[in-house]
Chain A
Amino acid sequence: MFRKRTFQELIDALKNNENISYWHEIAPVAARYAPMPETVPEKLKAALKSRGIDELYTHQAEAFQAVQKKENIVTVTPTASGKTLCYNLPVLSNLAANPNARALYLFPTKALSQDQRSELDELIEAMESEINSFTYDGDTPSSIRQHVRRAGHIVITNPDMLHSAILPHHTKWISLFENLETVVIDELHTYRGVFGSHVANVIRRLKRLCRYYGSDPVFISTSATIANPKELAEQLTGEKASLINTNGAPSGKKHIAFFNPPIVNEELRIRQSPSKAVQQLALSFLKERIQTIVFARSRVRVEVILSRIQAGLENDELRQSVRGYRGGYLPNQRREIERTLRTGETLGVISTNALELGVDIGQLQVCILTGYPGSIASSWQQAGRAGRRQNESLVILAADSSPVDQYVFTNPSYFFESSPETARLNKNNVIILADHIKCAVYELPFAEGEPFDDLTWEDTAGFLEYLSESRVLHERSGKWYWMNDAFPAHNISLRSAAQENVVIIDQSIPAKNRVIGEMDTFSALTLLHDEAIYLHEGIQFQVELLDWDEKKAYVREVSVDYFTDANLAVKLTVLEIDEEKELAGGTFLQYGDVMVSAMATLFKKIKLDTFENVGSGPIHLPEQELHSTAVMLEFSEEAVEALGEEEVEQVLLGLAHVWQHVACVHVMCDKGDLFTVPQVKSAHAELPTIFLYDRYPGGIGLSDKIYKEAENVLEKTRSYLSGCPCDSGCPSCTGMTAAFDGINVKHWAARLLENALYR
């Protein structure tokens, strides 16, 4: 009676599930091949043959030919399509012909570089040639560093190492810089936002040194599917690039199911939590031993889902084969999970988007997304984790009640037809640029009239002048020199505004304290405050003390039936308004610089099974400050005349909620990248105002784009709002304010927008 159910049976059963709102099938694709190019050296041909490769996929051949012509390229290919050969083939061919040549591989994380190196080394070994490839990162022993600098043909590293170890010490890397022929940038799409803006400047510095030493490398980038791979590659490298997107790799049949959990509160239109739905779906596959990956949007969700799934499995061995995976786990723990996923020992994994990157975990059969990941690119990237070259695979997208998810579910065509996201970076963010100009001058004095890659002398002169006035640089006969006893790269982190991490220390066993993970300071504000319940690999810990000065959180294992959720109070001050335009009905839109102060205020204890609030407490942590750019939507007093102050606040809150979500979908960024803050009487103009700001210091161009396309975004917001089937606002549009007495928040929010757009 408990006979094993096949994958096909499970798919058929799911198709008939009443909560499936949409089902999509992607037909299998046959491989397209191209012959091995003549110019590939014999040794390399033989090595490939020995590994079963006689011909190339079309995109690999195209990439090879373009690089042969010294073109910079960017390849766009899905997961598991043999993208590494797109760069290994031209690089190894080049090295076989010229043993003095050098190549630099950049991977966004250390883990990825380890992975790629073993693959590359196998190929080199099969070639039986004298090519040296080395990883150069924080783990490289100092005894071999000198050898790597002198003799490494292929140096595999990450942007952080390039920034803080290689470029500032270029005099030790002369043979690399003099002979650099190829720079490979893998996972190009990850170089967006603040990180991308930093890395684009690191590349400006790299090119500046190459020019100094007389080399002019070709850039090969590989990217997941995004709307603007060519534009991003060109922005990041400052070079023209050819796009190669003729994927020739085969793929099996793929099912994509939209699962909308049932409504549990008709009045408030609250749906069952997707975590619950996902947990049941995942269990049905795991019990049949079908390898499944579940993506969740936050670290907390990962842990909640993991513990529930584990609780739902009776078999001990099965329970242990389901693991969590997210930032905050220590590297060797993550490596172990990746390895066991490949071998199949690990059957299920619950992950944040940490596994979205090209970490090699093999191909799984089922992929479940808990909520829309916030971007089309991310969705496809995560969905790509399921699907083998021959077999069928299944992707389930489970929605939550948020406006974004419900928007996607009511418009499936948006998901399947609209172009994927645009990845943005702003390499001229003043703070980031000033930091890298410092580093550049440290590396090589700046001469009058000298451009900084794509920036002209006119662009940079002011910075140099400013920095010499601050006595960091010194100008002598038309050249700017670094004259400071500090090492600039050490104080500049590419990854985030918050420099320090909080270390998490488990003191469950006295005298045997151990570090179990770490977290950036901004996240720690809301996740590691005193009394917070912190989940790690499905185990609950309570934070006993967060030592903010020492950046240490002391935790102890507990067993409770709730999790904690913290509130972040945000204050906003306008520093300067750069641009302003008038919309209809006395509504103004402004764009400028703001200062945001964030402070964690209190936390709630929320019951695990019912999600009800069972208690709360204060949080005492210092305020964090952030300079950024913002769009301000300012309404006239007449527009809200009829409402009391409290009512205005509720309407603005509701409108801010829906505007933020639609704006995030529009500029295609993560939900955490753009924030909104409503003010009933703004401090600068004393008018009802909603601020929408970039979450990163100096801004990364998101609010700028919203300002430029304001009418379009506001109209999308309005039409989504009026299209929502609820009466007076619900979690899927205006957020939780629906229950406010007296006024119809949804109606008023829509009215404000209509007023702003059309009156």
Chain B
Amino acid sequence: MSLLKKLKRMAPEPKEAAPQAAAEERPDFEKIGFYPFYLDGVRSQRRRFTTAWSDPELYDRLVNCLNFWQDTVHPVSVPKDASLLFFDTETTGLDSGAGTYIFLLGYGRVSKQGVEITQHFMEGPETEAAFLGGFLDDLGQEEHLVTYNGKAFDWPRVKSRHAFLQRELPRLPETGHVDLLHAARRFWKDTLPSCRLPVIEEKILNKPRTGDTPGSMAPLLYFEYLEKNDPALLEGIVDHHAQDIMSLIELYIVLSEKLLFPEKSAMTVESEASALWWYQLNETERAQEHFRHADKLDGSSSFKRAYYKALIHKKRGDVHQAAAVLENVCSAPLQGPYYVYEELAKLYEHQLKKMEAAQSLLTPLDESRMTDKERTKYRHRLSRVEKKVLQRENE
């Protein structure tokens, strides 16, 4: 037709299309570990295998963490009877529209024997219902997802694909969800160049990957597979994906331990991250333990930690203790951040009614070490304190 002729003239010539085989038997899939299963007569490919724990202690450590998590409410905790599903997907693109497909979806389940990894592979988009159906069929009642960036990426895509096929699929169950990216950012965003999973693996789990197919190659490899119909092309990405799931398990253990057991933190930033998180959840007892451990790692207190410790004391009504903690750091010759002095000055001014102490705390501060906003607040506070001191003297 003439429209097509025009189109071809106005756009560059495409390459030759590849031949397409449609064999029933797929030994090529078996070669990379995938075996067919059927849902309503449509074939989907699945790989399931169990790997023994690389380090037998890992399982015990995980069980120990889970025991402790049972009694606690925390974004990383899971309830008592939940079964963990370490979950990850590979997609054909990064955007969230209706034309982005999930082509590889996998999860790990843990037991004493090891990790059972299940990977579902979408042989072609025409089998998407069987592909997702196979996953939904395998999903139990009390699953609790553990993912890396799954709240913003993987799970919304599962939901979107499910919405698309909802007439052909069972309902998508509600699941609990722990997103470890959020946790990792709290711990390491200032010390690591980025919080991408490969970086975490190398720097935190001490397991750098070698000879790995990077995840960013996934869409292109899948398109190439579709054209050439050769699953061998995907071997690298399938292994990469399984490895991601294994890393999730180990990362979950490491993060849980750092949050639950103060002595597991090897750096003050980690202790402080745990402490702050607990503090924000109003678990002041636990926060204090972590702050104390950070002091131990550092050999001394710090302005920031003293500040939070003081806030905890203040919350409990122990203003003298709060002041003591702050006085301890504020007496140091080197000037710290203004908010610490401000907090102590507030205690003097409002709770302890020690106007002179407030004045002598604030007066020697060096304004050049403050931000513009702090400087304004500082001057305001100082002049008020001075006025009050004068008032008292006149009384």
Which residues of chain B are near A207, meaning CB under 8 Å?
Answer: none
- A166-208: contact bitstring with B at CB < 8 Å (1 yes, 0 no)? 0011111010000000000000000000000000000000000
B222 shortest CB reach to chain A, Å = 8
B40 shortest CB reach to chain A, Å = 15
Which residues of chain A are near B124, meaning CB under 8 Å?
Answer: 474, 476-477, 481
Judge whether B352 is part of the interface by a CB distance below 8 angstroms. Answer: no
Interface stretch among B93-101, B174-182, B187-195? B93-101
Which residues of chain B are near A483, meaning CB under 8 Å?
Answer: 92, 101, 125, 222-223, 226
Query: What is the CA–CA distance of A529 and B343 in the complex, to the nearest angstrom?
Result: 58
Contact in complex: A431, B125 (CB < 8 Å): no
B302 shortest CB reach to chain A, Å = 36
Judge whether A119 is part of the interface by a CB distance below 8 angstroms. Answer: no
- B219-234: contact bitstring with A at CB < 8 Å (1 yes, 0 no)? 1101100110000000
Judge whether A484 is part of the interface by a CB distance below 8 angstroms. Answer: yes
Judge whether B1 is part of the interface by a CB distance below 8 angstroms. Answer: yes
Interface stretch among A18-26, A269-277, A456-464? A456-464
Query: What is the CA–CA distance of A441 and B99 in the complex, to the nearest angstrom?
Result: 8
- A423-453: contact bitstring with B at CB < 8 Å (1 yes, 0 no)? 0000010110110000001111100000000
Contact in complex: B93, A471 (CB < 8 Å): no
Judge whether A468 is part of the interface by a CB distance below 8 angstroms. Answer: yes
Contact in complex: B98, A168 (CB < 8 Å): yes
Residue pairs across A and B with Cβ atoms less than 8 A apart, 21 shown, are A168-B97, A169-B98, A171-B159, A171-B163, A174-B163, A430-B4, A430-B7, A434-B11, A441-B99, A462-B3, A466-B7, A468-B17, A471-B223, A474-B226, A476-B126, A479-B126, A481-B124, A484-B93, A487-B95, A489-B97, A698-B10
A172 nearest CB neighbor, chain B only: B160
Which residues of chain A are near B41, meaning CB under 8 Å?
Answer: none
A214 shortest CB reach to chain B, Å = 10
Judge whether B380 is part of the interface by a CB distance below 8 angstroms. Answer: no
Which residues of chain B are near A463, meaning CB under 8 Å?
Answer: 3-4, 7
- A464-506: contact bitstring with B at CB < 8 Å (1 yes, 0 no)? 0010111100101101011111111100000000000000000
Contact in complex: B164, A485 (CB < 8 Å): no
Query: What is the CA–CA distance of A420 and B154 in the complex, to the nearest angstrom?
Result: 55
Which residues of chain A are near B17, meaning CB under 8 Å?
Answer: 468-469
Given A168-B99, A487-B97, A428-B1 contact (CB < 8 Å): no
Judge whether A627 is part of the interface by a CB distance below 8 angstroms. Answer: yes
Which residues of chain A are near B125, meaning CB under 8 Å?
Answer: 445, 474, 476, 479, 481, 483
- Give the contacting residue for A485; candidates B8, B9, B11, B220; CB below 8 A: B220
Contact in complex: A470, B11 (CB < 8 Å): yes
Judge whether A576 is part of the interface by a CB distance below 8 angstroms. Answer: yes
Give 19 new A-B contacts, CB below 8 A, not counting A576-B9, A593-B6: A168-B97, A168-B98, A430-B6, A430-B7, A431-B7, A434-B7, A443-B97, A443-B98, A462-B4, A462-B7, A463-B3, A466-B14, A471-B227, A481-B101, A481-B125, A485-B92, A487-B93, A487-B95, A578-B2
Query: What is the CA–CA distance of A25 and B100 in the complex, to the nearest angstrom?
Result: 61
Which residues of chain A are near B9, meaning CB under 8 Å?
Answer: 575-576, 593
Contact in complex: B163, A469 (CB < 8 Å): no
B259 shortest CB reach to chain A, Å = 29
Given A468-B17, A474-B223, A444-B10 contact (CB < 8 Å): no
Judge whether B171 is part of the interface by a CB distance below 8 angstroms. Answer: no
Judge whether B373 is part of the interface by a CB distance below 8 angstroms. Answer: no
Which residues of chain B are near A172, meaning CB under 8 Å?
Answer: 160, 163
- B143-170: contact bitstring with A at CB < 8 Å (1 yes, 0 no)? 0000000000000000111011000000
Which residues of chain A are near B2, meaning CB under 8 Å?
Answer: 578
B303 shortest CB reach to chain A, Å = 35
B96 shortest CB reach to chain A, Å = 7
Which residues of chain A are near B15, meaning CB under 8 Å?
Answer: 469, 471
Size band of the interface chain B makes with A: 35 or more
B188 shortest CB reach to chain A, Å = 27
Query: What is the CA–CA distance of A487 and B159 in the complex, to the nearest angstrom?
Result: 19
Query: What is the CA–CA distance of A459 and B163 in the complex, to the nearest angstrom?
Result: 30
Query: What is the CA–CA distance of A430 and B159 in the complex, to the nearest angstrom?
Result: 35
B169 shortest CB reach to chain A, Å = 13
Given A430-B6, A442-B97, A487-B95, A471-B160 contact (CB < 8 Å): no
- Give the contacting residue for A428; candidates B3, B160, B161; CB below 8 A: B3
Query: What is the CA–CA distance of A174 and B10 in the complex, to the nearest angstrom?
Result: 37
Which residues of chain A are near B220, meaning CB under 8 Å?
Answer: 485
A146 shortest CB reach to chain B, Å = 11
Contact in complex: B98, A486 (CB < 8 Å): no
Chain A residues at the B interface, C-beta cutoff of 8 Å = 168-172, 174, 428, 430-431, 433-434, 441-445, 458-459, 462-463, 466, 468-471, 474, 476-477, 479, 481-489, 575-576, 578, 593, 627, 698
A89 shortest CB reach to chain B, Å = 34
Contact in complex: B226, A171 (CB < 8 Å): no
Which residues of chain B are near A474, meaning CB under 8 Å?
Answer: 124-125, 223, 226-227
Which residues of chain A are near B126, meaning CB under 8 Å?
Answer: 476-477, 479, 481
- Give the contacting residue for A443; candidates B7, B99, B223; CB below 8 A: B99
Contact in complex: B10, A430 (CB < 8 Å): yes
- Give the contacting residue for A171; candidates B3, B11, B160, B227; CB below 8 A: B160
B159 shortest CB reach to chain A, Å = 8
Which residues of chain A are near B223, meaning CB under 8 Å?
Answer: 471, 474, 483-484
A477 shortest CB reach to chain B, Å = 5
B269 shortest CB reach to chain A, Å = 31
Contact in complex: A170, B92 (CB < 8 Å): no
Which residues of chain B are near A169, meaning CB under 8 Å?
Answer: 96-98, 160
B163 nearest CB neighbor, chain A only: A171
Nearest 5 A/B pairs, CB to CB? A442-B99, A462-B4, A482-B99, A168-B97, A485-B93
A339 shortest CB reach to chain B, Å = 35
Which residues of chain B are near A482, meaning CB under 8 Å?
Answer: 99
Query: What is the CA–CA distance of A433 and B14 in the complex, to the nearest angstrom?
Result: 18
A543 shortest CB reach to chain B, Å = 34
A482 nearest CB neighbor, chain B only: B99
Which residues of chain A are near B222, meaning CB under 8 Å?
Answer: 483
Query: What is the CA–CA distance of A463 and B15 in the complex, to the nearest angstrom?
Result: 15
A433, A445, A481 — which one has the most chain B CB atoms within 10 A of its CB?
A: A481
B95 nearest CB neighbor, chain A only: A487
Query: What is the CA–CA distance of A444 and B220 in the complex, to the nearest angstrom?
Result: 21
Query: What is the CA–CA distance of A400 and B96 in the complex, to the nearest angstrom?
Result: 53
Which residues of chain B are near A487, meaning CB under 8 Å?
Answer: 93, 95, 97, 99
Query: What is the CA–CA distance of A136 and B320 in the complex, to the nearest angstrom?
Result: 55
* CB proximity to A under 8 Å, residues B13-56: 14-15, 17
B77 shortest CB reach to chain A, Å = 27
B164 nearest CB neighbor, chain A only: A171
A479 shortest CB reach to chain B, Å = 6
B22 nearest CB neighbor, chain A only: A477
Query: What is the CA–CA distance of A172 and B164 in the complex, to the nearest angstrom?
Result: 9
Contact in complex: A459, B1 (CB < 8 Å): yes
Query: What is the CA–CA distance of A462 and B8 in the complex, to the nearest angstrom?
Result: 10
A393 shortest CB reach to chain B, Å = 48
Query: What is the CA–CA distance of A605 and B343 in the complex, to the nearest angstrom?
Result: 66
- Give the contacting residue for B1; candidates A171, A434, A458, A593; CB below 8 A: A458
Which residues of chain A are near B98, meaning CB under 8 Å?
Answer: 168-171, 442-444
A431 nearest CB neighbor, chain B only: B10
- B192-233: contact bitstring with A at CB < 8 Å (1 yes, 0 no)? 000000000000000000000000000110110011000000
Which residues of chain A are near B4, meaning CB under 8 Å?
Answer: 430, 462-463, 466
A192 shortest CB reach to chain B, Å = 21
